[in-house]
Every structure is written in structure tokens, then in C-alpha cells.
Amino acid sequence: MSVTDRASSALAERMARARGALAAPARTARTTVVIGRLLAAAFVVCFLTGLYSHLLQEPLPGMRFPTWPGVYAFTQGLHVAVGIAILPLLLGKLWTVFPRLLLWPPAGSPLQLVERASVGLLVSSALLEPAIGLVNTYQWYPWPFPFRQTHYALAWVIVGSIALHVAVKLPTIVRYWRRRSIAHDRGVADE
């Protein structure tokens, strides 16, 4: 057995012990799906209200919007409130799937590698987007990039990443959309 095989075997054992230590009754595929659908709905609400704001500020040629009093204030209030609510939902979803980060090897095939990379893009952009949005509510800009354009571009990255993630995880989502967890479904093995 080569040095790399022994190291990989030792790492796999340690990762398995860590996953066992992190086991919790609430870390189920069902919990992940329930939080995920709330999180996806929240991102869609933020995306649509943000798109409305963007198109009001930079309308496409020939585009006109009615200017009803209070509509913009309502949509932006909803955008900010739901955007703040995304943070605990996102942390909850990450908590339910955290043991999946401890799989060894991290990807068993090129397809799994692409899937894990797309999840990495989704998670990083989903963490960054509400964080810079929250900082924006204080009108503090400690970064060198333009907030509005970056926030808008990240929104498209997130929506695309969510669509890809849902497509990949659709069998799991369908299986746990309405069904209650059963004892043998414990864990996020198929999530």
C-alpha cells in the first residue's frame, strides 16, 4: 500500500468519525428540503423585487413602469426584510448538510466534482449577497467594487446556481417534498 493510499485511508476514517460525531436527529434530507424550499422562495422574492428596482433605475429602451405611490417603498422593504431573513435560513441549511462536506474522497467522479463546484459557487455567492446587502442598509461601502452592479450580477449567479442545484437534486427534493422523515431516512446521505 502506497503512502498516498494509507493517507487517504486514514483521512477517510477520520472523516467518517467526524461525520458520526456531527450526527443529529434534525440533520435529515427532509429537513434540508424543507429549509431549502423556504430559502429558494426567499431568494426568488429578493430576486424579483431587486429586478423591479433595477429596471426602475435603469429601464430597458422603451420600458415604462407605472409610478404608484408606495409600490417602490413596499417592494424594497420586502426586499430588505426577506434578504435579512435569508441569513438564518442559509445558516440552517448549511448546518443540515455540513456532514456532507466531510466525505472522502470529496468527489468520486468528474460529474460529482462539477456538482460540488457548482454548490461551492452557490454557497459562496449566497453568503456574499445578503452580507453585502445588509452592509448596504447602513450605507457603508468598505469594498472597492460598485455595490449596485455587483449585487445585481450576484443575483443572477444565485438564481442560475439555484436552478442548477434544484435540477441536480430534483430526485431528493421530490422524495422529501411532502413526506415526513422516517427513521431509516436519517442523515443526509442522498442530499
pTM (2 d.p.): 0.84
Q: Give mean pLDDT in consecutive 10-residue pieces for the chain, a chain of 191 residues.
A: 82 83 85 94 97 91 83 94 97 92 82 88 96 94 94 97 92 82 47 43
For residue 35, what pLDDT is reported? 95
For residue 179, what pLDDT is reported? 66
For residue 189, what pLDDT is reported? 44
Question: What are residue 72's phi and psi, to 5 degrees?
Answer: -65, -45
- In three state form, how does the secondary structure of the chain look? CCHHHHHHHHHHHHHHHHHHHCCCCCCEHHHHHHHHHHHHHHHHHHHHHHHHHHHHHCCCCCCCCCCCCCHHHHHHHHHHHHHHHHHHHHHHHHHHHHHHHHCCCCCCCHHHHHHHHHHHHHHHHHHHHHHHHHHHHCCCCCCCCCHHHHHHHHHHHHHHHHHHHHHHHHHHHHHHCCCCCCHHHEECCCC
Q: What's the CA gap between 71 and 174, in Å, rounded?
A: 36
Q: What's the CA gap between 191 and 189, in Å, rounded?
A: 6
For residue 64, what pLDDT is reported? 85
Domains, the chain, with CATH or none: 26-179 (1.20.950)
For residue 182, what pLDDT is reported? 54
Task: Please write down the long-range contacts of 34-37, taking CB distance under 8 Å and 24 or more positions apart.
Answer: 34/176, 35/89, 35/92, 35/93, 35/96, 36/93, 36/173, 37/173, 37/177
For residue 81, what pLDDT is reported? 97
Task: Give 187's strand partners.
Answer: 28
